Amino acid sequence: AQTVTQSQPEMSVQEAETVTLSCTYDTSESDYYLFWYKQPPSRQMILVIRQEAYKQQNATENRFSVNFQKAAKSFSLKISDSQLGDAAMYFCAYRRANTGNQFYFGTGTSLTVIP
Amino acid sequence: DAMVIQNPRYQVTQFGKPVTLSCSQTLNHNVMYWYQQKSSQAPKLLFHYYDKDFNNEADTPDNFQSRRPNTSFCFLDIRSPGLGDAAMYLCATTLSGLNTEAFFGQGTRLTVV
């Protein structure tokens, strides 16, 4: 199994401010996909943003953007203009591109948004 | 318009009594996954189906089994639940070979008494 590490169990951010959640992963493969998922309390996990490893350009989805550093195997999520609805567990996930269909998840970061 | 549906949302079972959790999907995805998620931990992949092919993770206990009678349905069978099997069980689906994300159900919270 691939290893995905999220070193921040908990983070907090003031409403309207910016926060960055970190993620590193271990792989020997050159082609893969990376994802950030959001899991609100008692609700299902939903996709926030995805990144293909072969693309150098960082993915952006509205207030969410990533900083993908392939050589460093780092994939951080930046949330701009944080909103109360952003409060949730955030999981980083890795998926192989060519062989297997498994998604591997990090341990998650619990984000609190302070009004 | 739920796309991945898990039943029941909450399941209480007795120690050692077999239990089955179900998952259905309306996405026509060919890959279905079962994850176990314990409190404050990462979702742990138990196994997945690629079409009809069953793929077990190496560290998944034999106590956990799965069935996929057709594309839409997948079941998780726990043959003899122990206290350590109490967890949230997540079902997810995706399309193989494409850059698609996994779509998750709301999960089943299993309590073992």
List pLDDT tens digits, range B24-73.
999 999 999 999 999 878 899 999 999 999 999 989 999 999 999 999 99
Judged by CB atoms closer than 8 Å, whether chains meet at A103 and B57 is answered as no
Residue type, A9: P
Supply the DSSP symbol for A63: T
| A94–chain B nearest CA distance, Å | 10
Residue A59: pLDDT band (50, 70, 90) is very high
Judged by CB atoms closer than 8 Å, whether chains meet at A46 and B104 is answered as yes
B23 interfacial to chain A (CB closer than 8 Å): no
CA neighbours within 13 Å on the CB side: how many for A15? 5
- Four-CA torsion B67, A33, B107, B64, nearest 10 degrees: 40
Instruction: Find the chain A residues whose C-beta atoms sit closer than 8 A to any C-beta of B.
Output: 1, 4, 9, 33, 35, 37, 43-47, 50, 52, 91, 93, 95, 97, 100-108
| B82–chain A nearest CA distance, Å | 23
Tell me the average pLDDT across A52-65.
Answer: 91
- pLDDT value at position B68? 97
Judged by CB atoms closer than 8 Å, whether chains meet at A35 and B101 is answered as yes
> Percent of chain A, pLDDT > 90?
74
CB A37 within 8 A of CB A93: yes
Summarize pLDDT for A92-105 with one digit per residue, the tens: 999 987 666 788 99
Residue B2: pLDDT band (50, 70, 90) is low
Residue A3: pLDDT band (50, 70, 90) is confident
The first and second tokens of residue A29, run together, are 């493969």
Q: What is the mean pLDDT of chain B?
A: 93
**Which CA distances in Å does A110 have to A9, A13, A17, B2, B88?**
6, 11, 16, 25, 17
Tell me the average pLDDT across B6-28.
Answer: 96
The first and second tokens of residue B49, run together, are 């189906």
B90 interfacial to chain A (CB closer than 8 Å): yes
Tell me the average pLDDT across A34-43.
Answer: 90
What is residue A90's three-state secondary structure? strand
- pLDDT value at position A1? 60
What letters, b where the CB count within 10 A reaches 16 and e where it falls short, cover A47-73?
bbbbbebeeeeebeeeebbbbbeeeeb
Tell me the average pLDDT across A57-77.
Answer: 95
CA angle (B49 as vertex; B102, B3 as ends), nearest 5 = 40
- pLDDT value at position A96? 82
CB B106 within 8 A of CB B10: no
Nearest beta carbon to residue B42 from set A43, A91, A97: A91
The first and second tokens of residue A78, run together, are 């930046």
Tell me the average pLDDT across A20-24.
Answer: 98
- Beta-bridge mates of residue A37: A47, A91
Which of A45, A52, A107 is the best substitution to test chain B (most B C-beta atoms within 10 A)?
A45
Cα–Cα distance for residue pair A44/B37, rounded to 1 Å: 12
pLDDT(A4) > 70: yes
